[in-house]
């Protein structure tokens, strides 16, 4: 299989082994309360924690995507990100920064004013029709995720004949549209928890290896999500162990990027599996 790469900061980033993307939420209503950072000191401390524990990418979100989240205006989203990025670029200028937004205007602001490195769009370019042409014009890597509807409507849009096949077909179609615009630095995200039932999330994860057909970096974001808390009947705060189990399964079946709240544990899972791969014939080497 062709080696999967993207270009970040003018350099080729290889996925010879999986990488970690650490979550920094600058929202007051993200589903995991401990991830919410709203002050200068907490943003700086959280960024330092994410990077020092081994994450290569910092993913910053200013608009909660949980189903009952309040709407945030484009200007409020920009204001929140401007505040956080000013701090991060001052103290961590070389950090690889991903912006979690579905708005083209927000993406452009963060790239042009703060040199954001990646745009992570939960809507796959569906909510803002200008997103695809914007990221293409900015020549920046783009996380293409599957979702139906919006965060407020997605859980009413979970009817699939075959969830894995339909997600793959959707991503293939959207990838083709991006390629026509000249964008090839695309990261694929199946969108766990977005417009999928509990059963569908696990079915999709069980067939994760099928996404290797794209030969593109594969991002998995299952950290502390309801597919764990609902299955185990526990609170989000108790989902670290379950997250590590699912992350390990994802790593064994092709995940290249783990998007997580708990960086150290994800980095440790990667290191352990890479050691096992180097010493065992039972775990196939990464392609």
Q: DSSP 3-state assignment of 110?
A: helix
DSSP codes joined into one string, 31-54: SSGGGB--SHHHHHHHHHHHHHTT
The token duo for 204 is 């999709």
Assess whether 259 carries a catalytic annotation. Answer: yes
Assess whether 225 carries a catalytic annotation. Answer: yes
Which is the catalytic residue, given 9, 46, 225, 230?
225
Number of H helices, E strands in the chain: 9, 10
The token duo for 127 is 């909510």
**To which H or E segment does residue 79 belong?**
helix 74-91
DSSP codes joined into one string, 155-178: GG----SSHHHHHHHHHHHHHHHH
Which is the catalytic residue, given 44, 259, 264, 271?
259
Residue 51's nearest CA partner among 283, 199, 204, 267 is 267
Residues recognised as catalytic: 225, 259
């Amino acid at each position: 299989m062709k080696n999967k790469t993207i270009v970040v900061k003018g350099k080729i980033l290889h996925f010879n082994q999986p990488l970690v993307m650490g979550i920094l939420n600058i929202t007051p209503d993200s589903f995991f309360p401990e991830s919410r950072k709203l002050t200068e000191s907490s943003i700086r401390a959280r960024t330092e924690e994410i990077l020092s524990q081994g994450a290569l990418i910092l993913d910053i979100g200013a608009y909660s995507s949980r189903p009952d989240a309040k709407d945030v205006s484009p200007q409020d989203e920009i204001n929140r990100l401007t505040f956080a990025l000013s701090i991060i670029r001052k103290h961590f200028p070389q950090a690889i920064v991903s912006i979690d937004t579905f708005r083209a205007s927000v993406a452009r602001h963060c790239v042009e004013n703060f040199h954001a490195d990646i745009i992570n769009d939960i809507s796959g370019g569906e909510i803002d029709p200008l997103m695809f042409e914007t990221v293409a014009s900015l020549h920046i890597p783009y996380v293409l995720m599957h979702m139906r509807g919006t965060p407020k409507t997605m859980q009413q849009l979970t009817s699939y004949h075959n969830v894995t096949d339909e997600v793959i077909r959707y991503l293939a179609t959207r990838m083709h549209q991006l390629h026509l615009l000249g964008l090839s630095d695309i990261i694929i995200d199946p969108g766990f928890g977005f417009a999928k039932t509990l059963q569908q999330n696990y079915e999709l994860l069980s067939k994760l290896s099928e996404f290797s057909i794209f030969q593109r970096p594969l991002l998995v974001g299952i950290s502390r999500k309801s597919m764990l808390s609902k299955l185990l009947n526990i609170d989000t705060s108790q989902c670290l162990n379950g997250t590590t189990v699912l992350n390990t399964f994802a790593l064994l079946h092709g995940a290249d990027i783990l998007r997580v709240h708990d960086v150290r544990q994800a980095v440790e899972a990667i290191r352990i599996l890479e050691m096992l791969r180097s010493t065992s014939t039972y775990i196939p080497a990464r392609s």
